[in-house]
């Protein structure tokens, strides 16, 4: 499997990447890393998970005060004109701390949707609000039958008497239970699998007819299943052009892939460091278990997997701004396939080399494993993206 991914990376590996952080970017990295190290340990994280909201309003306010929530938005809307590298730096640091705050849902997914499709008034209103930490959003697209197929949308929207009427169900909506506004995808024409005829709508979470069932995921995050029964929103709730939402949805997912790729690198590096330290200190038969060659080889495989993930995460960040749709689509499928392989190699390796302690709630390695396992499947698993790459690379 890995050889197939590496061969599909020939374009990427074919050019020299001279990647070095600027002084400002290095300062950002140091600041975010210090914030996480000083304020977000395993015990505090556990308390946040058990809280009613499933995230810390205090931490969220700190992120807003530091300008991290609006970093990637235009200064015209309260942001700081940051680019994909700055976004990557933030997400990698979040990965080291296993942050469970709704950054991916609100800033990356919903923020991308607003920047891509909203008119100037909506951009000014919503981006400013989420940059200040005053407004949470969620992106509701997945359905029970979609199985990673972005065009599989059964939720329907019809225009009646000047209002849009939405009916359908969405599943696994990340942080959907705490969102103030939910971006809902719905079919406005065509068959359930057609890329044409999908539209996006801004729906206040407290709109009549919405039922939200919130629940925890295995990695400590929160998700929700959302049912829409004759939900009525005004005509201006339409986000972007009617029937032309598929490319926007695809762009949202691609930014999501780049985000979790960066996050996974931070998490995997922590797993690797913790595992190497454990191999050096855990003794068996009167010697550190790291002296045994077979365990050294496993640790070396984990190191290679982390470095592969780091390289592809940088590539993904760069490709989020690629104008060529096909090139960007290929790059993100390649990224997610490699990230999935690396998550599996590092996560499983870390737990197995730690032995029984690796699966206890009191020890951090198991929590990293759960998050990496979730990232492995988020926005499509390895098999899905390898199939996509095979179809794209096929001469037919």
Coil/strand/helix, residue 270: helix
Amino acid 336: pLDDT: 98
Residue 338 in tokens: 């490699």
Average pLDDT over residues 66-70: 95
CA atoms within 13 A on the CB side of 166: 34
- pTM, whole model, 2 decimals? 0.94
Give the pLDDT confidence score for residue 286 in this predicted structure: 87
Residue 116 has pLDDT above 50, yes or no: yes
pLDDT score for 360: 86
Predicted confidence (pLDDT) per residue in 216-239, tens digit: 999 999 999 999 999 999 999 999
Q: Give residue-wise pLDDT tens across range 77-111.
A: 989 999 999 999 999 999 999 999 999 999 999 99
CATH superfamily of 139-242: Butyryl-CoA Dehydrogenase, subunit A, domain 2 (2.40.110.10)
Whether the pLDDT of residue 395 is over 80: the answer is no
- CATH level 3 topology of 247-393: Butyryl-CoA Dehydrogenase, subunit A; domain 3 (1.20.140)
Asked if residue 334 lies in contact with residue 268, where contact means CB atoms within 8 angstroms, the answer is: no
Domain limits, the chain: 16-136, 139-242, 247-393
pLDDT at 4 over 50: no
- The residue whose two tokens read 């920047």 is 115
Q: What is the pLDDT of residues 158-215, one digit of tens each?
A: 999 999 999 999 999 999 999 999 999 999 999 888 999 999 999 999 999 999 999 9
What pLDDT digit, counting tens, does each position of 305-342 carry?
Answer: 999 999 999 999 999 999 999 999 999 999 999 999 99
Residues 6+ apart with CB under 8 A from 169: 143, 144, 155, 225, 226, 227, 228
**For residue 1, is pLDDT > 60?**
no
pLDDT digits (tens, 9 = 90+) for 15-59: 344 568 889 999 999 999 999 998 899 999 999 999 999 999 999
Helix axes 364-377, 246-281, angle to 10 degrees: 150
CA 87 to chain centre: 12
Range from 8-12, 203-207, 218-222, 295-299 carrying the lowest mean pLDDT:
8-12
Span 16-136 CATH architecture: Orthogonal Bundle (1.10)
pLDDT at 162: 93
DSSP per-residue codes, 64-104: HHTT-SSTTS-GGGT-----HHHHHHHHHHHHHHT--STHI
Which helix H or strand E contains 221, and what residues bound it? none
Q: Are 381 and 148 in contact (CB under 8 A)?
A: yes
pLDDT of residue 396: 61
């Amino acid at each position: 499997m890995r050889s197939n991914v590496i061969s599909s990376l020939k374009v990427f590996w074919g050019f020299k990447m001279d990647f070095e952080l600027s002084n400002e970017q290095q300062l950002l990295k140091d600041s975010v890393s210090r914030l996480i190290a000083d304020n977000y340990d395993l015990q505090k994280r556990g308390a946040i998970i058990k809280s009613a909201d499933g995230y810390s309003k205090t931490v969220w306010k700190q992120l807003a005060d530091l300008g991290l929530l609006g970093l990637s938005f235009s200064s015209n809307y309260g942001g700081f004109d940051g680019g994909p590298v700055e976004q990557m730096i933030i997400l990698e640091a979040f990965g080291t701390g296993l942050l469970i705050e709704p950054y991916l849902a609100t800033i990356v997914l919903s923020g991308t949707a607003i920047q891509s499709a909203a008119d100037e008034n909506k951009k000014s209103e919503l981006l400013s609000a989420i940059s200040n930490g005053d407004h949470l959003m969620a992106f509701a697209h997945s359905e029970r039958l979609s199985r990673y197929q972005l065009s599989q949308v059964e939720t329907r929207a019809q225009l009646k008497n000047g209002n849009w009427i939405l009916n359908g169900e969405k599943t696994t909506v990340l942080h959907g239970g705490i969102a103030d506004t939910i971006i809902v995808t719905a079919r406005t024409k065509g068959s359930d699998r057609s890329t044409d005829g999908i539209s996006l709508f801004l729906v206040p979470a407290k709109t009549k007819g919405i039922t939200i069932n919130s629940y925890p995921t295995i990695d400590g995050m929160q998700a929700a299943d959302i049912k829409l029964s004759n939900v009525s929103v005004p005509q201006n709730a339409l986000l972007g052009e009617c029937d032309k939402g598929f490319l926007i949805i695809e762009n949202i997912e691609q930014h999501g892939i780049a985000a979790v790729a960066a996050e996974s690198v931070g998490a995997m590096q922590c797993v690797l460091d913790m595992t190497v330290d454990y191999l050096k200190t855990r003794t068996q038969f009167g010697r550190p278990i790291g002296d045994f060659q077979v365990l050294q080889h496993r640790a070396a495989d984990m190191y290679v997997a982390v470095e592969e993930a780091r390289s592809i995460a940088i590539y993904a960040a760069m490709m989020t701004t690629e104008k060529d749709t096909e090139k960007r689509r290929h790059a993100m499928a390649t990224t997610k396939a490699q990230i999935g392989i690396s998550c599996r190699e590092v996560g499983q390796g870390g737990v197995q080399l730690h032995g029984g302690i690796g699966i206890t709630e009191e020890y951090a390695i198991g929590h990293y494993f759960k998050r990496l396992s979730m990232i492995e499947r988020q926005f499509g698993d390895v098999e899905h993206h390898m199939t996509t790459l095979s179809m794209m690379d096929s001469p037919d």
